[in-house]
Amino acid sequence: MALSFRMQDKTIAYIGDSLGRQQFQSMMCMVSGGEESPEFEDAAREYGLVKPRGAKRPDGWVYRFPNTNTTILYYWSASLSDLEPINSTDPTSDVAMHLDRPPAFLRRFLHRFDVVVLNTGHHWNRGKLTANHWVMHVNWKPNENKELEDIRNAKNFTVHSVVRWLDSELLSHPRLKAFFRTISPRHFRNGDWNTGGTCNNTTPLTGGSEVLQDESSDKVVESAVRGTRVSMIACIGAYLVYQTHGMNSLLHRYKARYASEKAFL
């Protein structure tokens, strides 16, 4: 009841990759109270989120709960950079990945949001860029900065760019609360899944019974939000791991560091 009251007449937007989608799904579960058929409206068309022909899914979802006039939405933007086909008439065209421009969806609908939560991280690797035909652009032209050819530098540049832009918009959107969620702790130790890393910890909270870390391991986001009005949601802590049918199942235990519940809603 208290959560529903705080969300009265508010629009909450999650924009990012699959971690943002999971956070959106968790919020939907909390607001619906776990009911199988809660009263809600599909408001996706208001935001242009209709599944394109041939696509597996739309670019996002928007649901409104009429009893509290609460709108909760998710928009897929894995890199938080603006993406547009280099040749709009060619379906196989490469895609300009504008590192210094936030997603068009965010720019277009920011005025409708009361809370916006951004995240990015896992798609910043050469394989993803190649598979998606993303070509890095800065200042409306293909990137010429050798330093940004390093994916880590490109991600750092983009995160700082979108945070600076969002911070500059907050003065003209006084009711808006803006957050940037950090990347999750890593599953694998001593390497990644394809570089010799292991994920064989079957003892929950190895080394202790509680999460005590009080800072984020995502230094890019921590650096980007420092000195701005954009707050950080730090996903920190340990994994709860248990063995199921010969496979490791991992449950993240997070300590989400909000300024306060009241600040978020």
Residue-wise pLDDT for 144-198, tens only, equals 999 999 999 999 999 999 999 999 999 999 999 999 998 865 555 676 555 666 6
Average pLDDT over residues 132-147: 96
The pTM of the whole model exceeds 0.85? no
Quick check: 24 pLDDT over 80?
A: yes
Mean pLDDT taken over the chain: 81
DSSP letter string over 82-140?
EEEESSTT-TT--EEEETTS--HHHHHHGGG-SEEEE---TT-SHHHHHHTTEEEEETT
* Length of the chain (residues): 265
Quick check: 141 pLDDT over 50?
A: yes
Q: What is the structure's pLDDT at 112?
A: 97
Q: How large a percentage of the chain has pLDDT more than 70?
A: 72
Average pLDDT over residues 36-64: 86
φ/ψ of 125, rounded to 5, equals -150, 155
pLDDT confidence tier of residue 215, bands split at 50, 70 and 90: low
Residues in Cβ contact with 13 at an 8 Å cutoff, skipping those fewer than 6 apart: 73, 74, 75, 109, 113, 115, 116, 117
